[in-house]
Amino acid sequence: MVVSRELQERFGEIDIYLFDQLLRGRLDGRRRILDAGSGGGRNLPFLAASGFELAAIDREAAAVAAVRRFAPDARLGELDALPWDDEAFDAVLCSAVLHFARDADHWDAMVRELWRVLARGGLFFARLASSIGIEPLLPAPTGRMRLPDGSDRFVVDERTLLTTTAALGGRLLDPLKTTVVQGQRAMTTWVIEKC
């Protein structure tokens, strides 16, 4: 038996930080899920097989076409102008997308729009580039910048995430957790509940 192949067949390429939320029951009872910025849908196969009601949005037509088999309500669009009603979802997943914001206003518009479609008691899960743990390597704590790995990202700091959580009226379900990739970049997991 090859354990890695068995795991791959069962869970696909699901984000390990989202997998952690699943293991801890954070999606139990939260059946309507939006994958915001779904890309090729790495988080969708397991969720679809588990009976979740899935929707997805991406700005790339090829990505939308690729995820339709898992998320029948997959749409072409932008995260700052979502085509769904207020409180349409029990959970919003936004993995490695918010750091593509053009600037602070665009980042804020995307976050507020994702929050708008989240139902009260819903879960907001995001993974995004941050300055947490790599501050000395960056020209500023927040903003659009070139990271040491050569990528251009909109980076946020701890204060921005905590201030935004409070402004939204949310509650952190986990402390902010950041993975620092040795002198290259930092990715933070931001998990909040809509109160």
pLDDT at 6: 84
pLDDT at 1: 63
Mean pLDDT of 127-144: 97
Residue type at position 35: D
pLDDT digits (tens, 9 = 90+) for 25-61: 999 999 999 999 999 999 999 999 999 999 999 999 9
Ranges of H-type helices in 36-185: 44-49, 61-67, 104-116, 158-168
Q: How many domains does the chain have?
A: 1
Q: How confident is the model at residue 2 (pLDDT cuts 50, 70, 90)?
A: confident
Question: What is the phi/psi pair of residue 95, to 5°?
Answer: -100, 115
The Cα–Cα gap between 66 and 161 comes to 31
The Cα–Cα gap between 151 and 48 comes to 32
Q: How confident is the model at residue 62 (pLDDT cuts 50, 70, 90)?
A: very high
Q: Kindly report which listed range (8-17, 20-29, 111-120, 151-160) carries the lowest average pLDDT score.
A: 8-17
Q: Which of 36, 163, 183, 185 is nearest to 101 (CA)?
A: 36
184, 149 Cβ separation under 8 angstroms: yes
First to last CA, the chain: 45
Domain that holds residue 189: 3-194
The pairing of strands 177-181 and 185-194 is antiparallel
Domain of residue 103, CATH code: 3.40.50.150
193, 171 Cβ separation under 8 angstroms: yes
Question: Which residues have C-beta within 8 Å of that of residue 161, sequence separation ≥ 6?
Answer: 130, 176, 188, 190
